[in-house]
Chains A and B, each alone.
Chain A
Amino acid sequence: QKEVEQNSGPLSVPEGAIASLNCTYSDRGSQSFFWYRQYSGKSPELIMFIYSNGDKEDGRFTAQLNKASQYVSLLIRDSQPSDSATYLCARGRAAGNKLTFGGGTRVLVKP
């Protein structure tokens, strides 16, 4: 079992809809989680991080963490074509801020 798992997609959503991305992890000791967005041919950029159970909102993005069920999700409200990208889920490791990434979910927002 991979440490961090994501559905590779593509996840196709109409413009204006909510995109829902899920990520599961195997290490119960994981404390912090990151969502990165990566446009084709570009480097990953941080959208948000979460380390407490519950929801965290930042603009159109909401991250949700459920440590008991070992999953973290990302909601994108009012999806725009510019949100079309691959979204990478990562967990932080205590030592040295190393990140373990999932394989990424490709999102396509159709006008």
Chain B
Amino acid sequence: DVKVTQSSRYLVKRTGEKVFLECVQDMDHENMFWYRQDPGLGLRLIYFSYDVKMKEKGDIPEGYSVSREKKERFSLILESASTNQTSMYLCASSFPGQENTEAFFGQGTRLTVV
């Protein structure tokens, strides 16, 4: 079974804190993604990585950065957490090369910024 594992299910952080969300996949996928999910808005792409040390901004990158030092691990960083970053964060991974390649999701991290 493909496994995408996110380090925390629930997090509560204070405004202004630096927050790290970690994601690990065990399928040797080249592509990794960070999405956030908000009611009525669906999933929105924050950042995408197609190889180690390679990253690309998604649709809503403001206030976030990412790190991919190893193929299996993709970290999302909130430089200075704000209340509007309270959301469900989902990591995903996939093989590259084809538009119809399935993305596998982690279980999600529900982040609350107070």
Q: Do the two shown chains form a genuine complex with each other?
A: yes
Check B105 for interface membership: any CB of A closer than 8 A: yes
Whether the Cβ atoms of B41 and A96 lie closer than 8 Å is: no
If A43-B90, A96-B31, A96-B48 touch, whether A49 touches B42 (CB-CB below 8 Å) is no
Interface of chain B, helix or strand or loop or mixed?
A: loop
Given A32-B99, A92-B99, A94-B99; A99-B43 close (CB under 8 Å):
yes
> A8 and B33 in contact (CB under 8 A), knowing A96-B56, A97-B101?
no
Contacts A44-B90, A96-B48, A97-B94 known; A32 to B107 CB distance under 8 Å? no
Chain B residues touching A, range: 20 to 34
Q: Are A101 and B58 in contact, with the CB atoms below 8 A?
A: no
Is the CB–CB distance between B48 and A101 below 8 Å?
no
Q: Does B102 contact A (CB under 8 A)?
A: yes
CB-CB under 8 A from A31, the residues of chain B are 99
B103 within 8 A of A: yes
Residues of A within 8 A of B106 (CB): 43
A interface residues with partner B (beta carbon < 8 Å):
4, 6, 8, 31-32, 34, 42-46, 49, 51, 88, 90, 92-94, 96-104
Interface residues of B, Cβ cutoff 8 Å to A: 31, 33, 35, 40-45, 48, 50, 56, 58-59, 90, 94-103, 105-108
7 A-B pairs with the lowest CB-CB distances in the bound complex, closest first: A101-B42, A43-B105, A92-B99, A32-B99, A101-B43, A103-B42, A32-B100
Enumerate 22 A-B pairs (CB-CB under 8 Å) in ascending A order.
Answer: A4-B42, A32-B99, A32-B100, A34-B102, A42-B108, A43-B105, A45-B105, A49-B100, A88-B43, A90-B43, A97-B94, A97-B96, A97-B98, A97-B99, A98-B45, A98-B48, A99-B33, A101-B35, A101-B42, A102-B42, A103-B41, A103-B42
